[in-house]
Structure formats: structure tokens, C-alpha cells
Amino acid sequence: MNKPVTIKDIAKKFKCSPSTVSRALNNHPSINEDTRRNLQEYAQKVGYQRNQVSLSLLNKKTATIGVIVPTINNYHESAIIEGIESGLQPLGYTLNICVTNEQYLLESEYVEKLLSNRVEGVFLSISQETYDSGHYEHLEQIKKRSIPLIFIDREYEGFATGSVTIDDYHGAFKAVEHLIKTGRKRIAHLKGPNGMAVAEERLRGYIECLKKHDLPVDEDLILNTNFKVESAIEPVTKLMNLPELPDAIFGVNDQVAIGAMKVIRDKGLNIPGDIAVAGFDNAPISAYIHPSLTSVARPGRQIGIEAAKIFTDYLQSSEALPSRNIVLPSELIVRESTAG
């Protein structure tokens, strides 16, 4: 790795002090016009690049923020990251992305590392294992240093500078209510992992909606998945073997809904004729598959943008702001898979 040219190198070459070089390159007014031009031209020629590391040390500002997410390989999560990026890129921030794979250990190591790297903010979508374990000491560390911590999608009370989530409860409620209003009476739910906030909220929306409409909540119709398309196959196959079939399935996301559709079709049943299907996320593909999938829209990009906004507002205000918790509305997009 070639040694990068430093200000000192240039100073030596020009027999002047580093201060002069620094000022010349920064267009400081108290530098002679000729000197400035010469130095700038030379710097340009030798490809001088200011060492941001030393600057960070000096200014105690790294212009870097950390983003910790369970996964990145998924429409919703990556949309969030693009949202954050688009919000912070104009301000010159760099994103340090960390993927926890839902593991507590990695999450906590990443927090250490980011703090050690002196990031100016942390955007965190808590991992499943962290939820399960109930360990939040790593977040204490962030709080102690009073670095802005913004929760994304998955919240945890009491630590945050802010959070951006969507209204999972009402989103699920609306989806199930739509199924009921189009005549469905025996609605199954493919739920997400236990203890995960978004999954629990959607489950709650499903249950409360059934109750509101005086429909029984049948444990046999509530089945586990892990958000992945494959994980829908086995539970839905089980559903298809019940003595009395459901007439609708509400999936915790589009992936499992699409998995469900496959099993239903393979069973020779018609969607939505025999069984209606609805999902959650409104992934772009959902509008194009057949039948197109009814889904609750979840504005990932918007979530990222709002989170970035919380961060920048926090920076700009001198005094401590109260925690700002934004809940974006979720919208039901009705398509063929639930047509009356």
C-alpha cells in the first residue's frame, strides 16, 4: 500500500510549514494568493487526500454512523438502509453496516466496535436473540456515552433517542377485517417468531380483529414461521390436512403468504375462490405474481428517511430533546388474492 502524501511531505517539498499547507488547501484568507495556487496545484498533482482519520481524532467527529440490523438480504430491511443512506449522504455521513443474523453476541460485539470507532449515532433493529435473552447492557453503553440511539422497526422502551416503527397492529387488523368483510370466517394466521415485536403485534391485530367480529380464535389456525418463504410450506401443508379447511390465510409477511399460495395451489384449490391469502410488506413483486397478493404496505424507505431525520434533528438542537417515537401508518393494498 503506497504511503499517501501528507501535508508534511508537501511542506517539506516547498520548504514551508505544515500550517501554511493546511491553510492553503483550505482556502484560508490569510494565505498569499501565489502560495495558495502553487500548493493547491502541487497537491492536486501528487493526489493529496486529506487524512480523515487524523481529522476525526482532532475534532472528535467521525461523520460516521453505525447501522445494526438482523439481515440486509430482504426487501424491507434493505429499503430501510437505502432510506437512511439517502437521508444522511447529503450531510457527508458514512454508514457502517453490521449484520447480526439475529444473534445477541454479534449485536453486542458490534455495539462495542462501533463505540470504539466513535460513531456519532447508532441505528438499531434489535435481534431476535436479544429480545429472547432480555440482555440490554450493550445498549446501556450507548446511553452512557449519550450517543443518539434510534430504534428501527423493533423497539425497546427506555433507551432511545427515538424510534421509527410502523403500526403493525392496525395493519394486521385492517387486513383481517378486510378478509372478514369479504365473507371469510375461518382465517388462519402464519405468525412470526415468538417474542419478536413486529410479529407479536401482527398476531395481536389478528386476534383482536377476530374477537371484535365475534369469530373464534382457534389455536390450530395459528402457526409458526420464520418470515422465510420456505418456512410456510410445512405449516400450511398441515392446515390443508385439517378436517375443516380455513377459508383465508393471513401471513406475517409476503414471503410466507407466497409460500402458502404455492401449497394451496399444489393441493388443487383455488385462490381466492377456496382460500383467500393476504400478506404484509407489499414487496414490489406482490403486485405481479398470480394472483396478485393483497398486502399491508410497509414503507421501508420512508422509515429510513424518518430515522435519519430524527438523528439530524437531534444533532442540530442544542438541548436534550425528548425521545421521539414515530409510528408510520400501514396501508392495506387489496389485490386479487382476496377478491370477494
Partner DNA sequence: ATACTACCTGCAAACGTTTGAAATTTTTTG
Partner DNA sequence: CAAAAAATTTCAAACGTTTGCAGGTAGTAT
Judged by the rule CB under 8 A, the positions of this chain that interact with a copy of itself are 1-2, 4, 47, 49-54, 56-57, 62, 64, 71-75, 77-79, 81-82, 85-86, 89, 92, 94-99, 106, 112-113, 115-118, 120, 141, 144-147, 228-230, 255, 258-259, 261-262, 265, 284-285, 287-290, 292
Residue 37: CB minimum distance to a copy of itself, A = 21
One residue of 12, 37, 54, 91 binding DNA per CB under 7 A: 54
Nearer to a copy of itself, 284 or 329 (CB): 284
Q: Which does 45 bind (CB under 5 to 8 A by kind): DNA, a copy of itself, none?
A: none
Pick the closest to residue 96 from 121, 59, 76 (CA basis): 121
Say which residues have a Cβ less than 8 Å from residue 290's Cβ, sequence separation at least 6: 336
The smaller minimum CB distance to a copy of itself, of residues 15 and 60, is found at 60
Most distant CA atoms of the chain, gap in Å: 91
The entry of a copy of itself, DNA, none near residue 285 (CB within 5 to 8 angstroms by kind) is a copy of itself
Q: Which residues partner with 297 through β-bridges? A: 281, 331
Q: Is the dihedral of CA 178, 231, 126, 116 positive or negative?
A: negative
Integer Cα distance of 231 and 246 in angstroms: 19
> Is residue 1 a contact point for DNA (CB under 7 A)?
no
Binder to DNA among 12, 13, 32, 262 (CB under 7 A)? Answer: 32
Task: Find the binder of DNA among 1, 2, 3, 214 (CB under 7 A).
Answer: 3
Least distance between a copy of itself and beta carbon 65 (Å): 11
51 part of the interface to DNA, by CB under 7 A: yes
Distance between first and last Cα of the chain: 66
- Interaction of residue 60 with DNA, rule CB under 7 A: yes
Q: Measure the CA–CA gap between 303 and 298, rounded to whole angstroms.
A: 9
Residue with cell string 379447511: 245
The SS3 call for residue 328 is: strand
What is the edge-to-edge ordering of all strands in the sheet holding 222-224?
222-224, 187-191, 248-251, 276-281, 294-297, 331-333
Q: Is 114 in the site for DNA (CB under 7 A)?
A: no
Closer to a copy of itself by Cβ: residue 146 or 241: 146
Contact 307, 82 (CB under 8 A): no
Q: Binding residues for DNA, per CB under 7 A?
A: 3-4, 6-8, 15-20, 22-23, 25-26, 30-33, 35, 48, 50-51, 54-55, 57-58, 60
